[in-house]
Structure 1
Amino acid sequence: MSNSTRALLLRMAPSIYGPTILFTLGQSAVMPLIPVIAVGMGAGIGLSGFIASTLVVGQLAGNLPAGWIVARAGERIAMLIATGVAFFGAIGIVLAPNPGTLGVAVFVIGFAAATFGLARHSFMTTRVPVAFRARALSLIGGSHRLGRFGGPFLAAGILALTASPVAPVWAFVVCLALTALLVTCAPDPEQALPVQRPVEEPEPRTAGIRAAVRHNRAPLARIGGSAAILSGLRTTKDVLLPLWAVSIGMDPAGVALVVGIAGTVDFALFYTSGQVMDRFGRLWAALPATIGMAVAFLGLSLTHDSPDALTWLLICAVVIGIGNGLSSGIVLTLGADLAPPGDPSAFLAAWRTLVDFGGATAPLAISAIAAASLPLAAAAAGTLAVLGAAGFARWVPRYVPRAHRKP
Structure 2
Amino acid sequence: MTLQTNVDAVTDRASTVLLRFGPMIYGPTVLFALGEGAVIPLIPVIAADLGADVATAALVASALVVGQLCGNIPAGWTVARLGERFTMAIAGTLSILGVIGMVFAPSLVVFTASVFLIGFCAAAFGLARHSFMTTRVPLSFRARALSLLGGTFRLGMFVGPFVSAGLLIVFGPTASIWFFGACLVATVLLVLLGPDPERVIPDEPRPERDQGDDDPLTDAMLTEDTGEAVTGSIPTTALRRAQGSNDGVFRTMWLFRRVLSRLGVAAASLSAVRSARQVVLPLWGVSIGLDAQTIALVVGISGAIDFALFYASGQVMDRFGRLWAALPAMILMGAGFLALAFTHDLSSAELWFGVFAAVLGVGNGLSSGILLTLGADVAPKANPAPFLGSWRTLTDAGGALSPLLVAGITAISSLAVATGAMGVLGFVGAFAFLRWVPKFVPRAKH
Q: Same fold (TM over 0.5)?
A: yes
Contact residue 131 and residue 404 of structure 1 kept, 8 A: no
Per-residue deviation, 1:78: 0.4
Which position in structure 2 is the counterpart of 1:144? Answer: 153
Which position in structure 1 is the counterpart of 2:274? Answer: 234
Contact residue 301 and residue 379 of structure 1 kept, 8 A: yes
- 1:196 matched to 2:204: yes
Which position in structure 1 is the counterpart of 2:428? Answer: 387
Over the aligned positions, Cα root-mean-square deviation in angstroms equals 1.2
Identity %: 55
User: For each residue in 1:339-363, what CA deviation from the matched residue of structure 2 results, as whole angstroms up to 9, or x when unmatched?
Assistant: 0111101100000001100100011
Which position in structure 2 is the counterpart of 1:271? Answer: 311
Match of 2:362 among 322, 333, 337: 322
Please identify, of 205-214 and 387-396, the stretch whose mean Cα deviation from structure 2 is larger.
205-214
- 1:331 matched to 2:371: yes
Which position in structure 2 is the counterpart of 1:304? Answer: 344
Task: Determine the C-alpha separation between the residues in 1 that align with 2:30 and 2:418.
Answer: 33
User: For each residue in 1:99-153, what CA deviation from the matched residue of structure 2 results, as whole angstroms up to 9, or x when unmatched?
Assistant: 0100000000000000000000000001111111000000111001101101101
Structure 1: where are the runs of 5+ without partners?
none
Aligned ranges 1:170-185 → 2 under 5 Å: 170-185=178-193
Task: Determine the C-alpha separation between the residues in 2 that align with 1:379 and 1:174.
Answer: 42
- 1:23 matched to 2:32: yes
Task: Determine the C-alpha separation between the residues in 1 that align with 2:354 and 2:434.
Answer: 28
Match of 2:14 among 2, 5, 9: 5
User: For each residue in 1:347-403, what CA deviation from the matched residue of structure 2 results, as whole angstroms up to 9, or x when unmatched?
Assistant: 000000011001000111112212330110111000110110000011101111332
Per-residue deviation, 1:240: 0.3
What TM-score results when the alignment is normalised by the length of structure 1?
0.97
- 1:36 matched to 2:77: no
Contact residue 267 and residue 395 of structure 2 kept, 8 A: yes
Task: Return the letter of the residue paired with 2:84.
Answer: E
Task: Return the letter of the residue paired with 2:355.
Answer: I
Per-residue deviation, 1:258: 1.1
Equivalent residues, number: 404
Task: Return the letter of the residue paired with 2:417.
Answer: L
Which position in structure 2 is the counterpart of 1:403? Answer: 444
Task: Return the letter of the residue paired with 2:180.
Answer: F
Task: Determine the C-alpha separation between the residues in 1 that align with 2:445 and 2:433.
Answer: 16
Per-residue deviation, 1:44: 1.4
Partner SS state of residue 443, structure 2: coil
Match of 1:262 among 302, 324, 327: 302
Task: Return the letter of the residue paired with 2:408.
Answer: A
Task: Determine the C-alpha separation between the residues in 2 that align with 1:156 and 1:254.
Answer: 18
What TM-score results when the alignment is normalised by the length of structure 2?
0.89
Which position in structure 2 is the counterpart of 1:71? Answer: 80
Task: Return the letter of the residue paired with 1:106.
Answer: V
Query: Highest CA radius of gyration, 1 or 2?
Result: 2
Per-residue deviation, 1:49: 1.1
User: For each residue in 1:203-257, what CA deviation from the matched residue of structure 2 results, as whole angstroms up to 9, or x when unmatched?
Assistant: 2215212221222111111111011011111111100001001111110011001
- 1:62 matched to 2:93: no
Q: Which runs of 4+ in 1 moved over 3 A?
A: none
Aligned ranges 1:42-57 → 2 under 5 Å: 42-57=51-66
Contact residue 377 and residue 442 of structure 2 kept, 8 A: no
- 1:369 matched to 2:409: yes
Contact residue 48 and residue 57 of structure 2 kept, 8 A: yes
Aligned ranges 1:343-358 → 2 under 5 Å: 343-358=383-398
Per-residue deviation, 1:200: 4.5
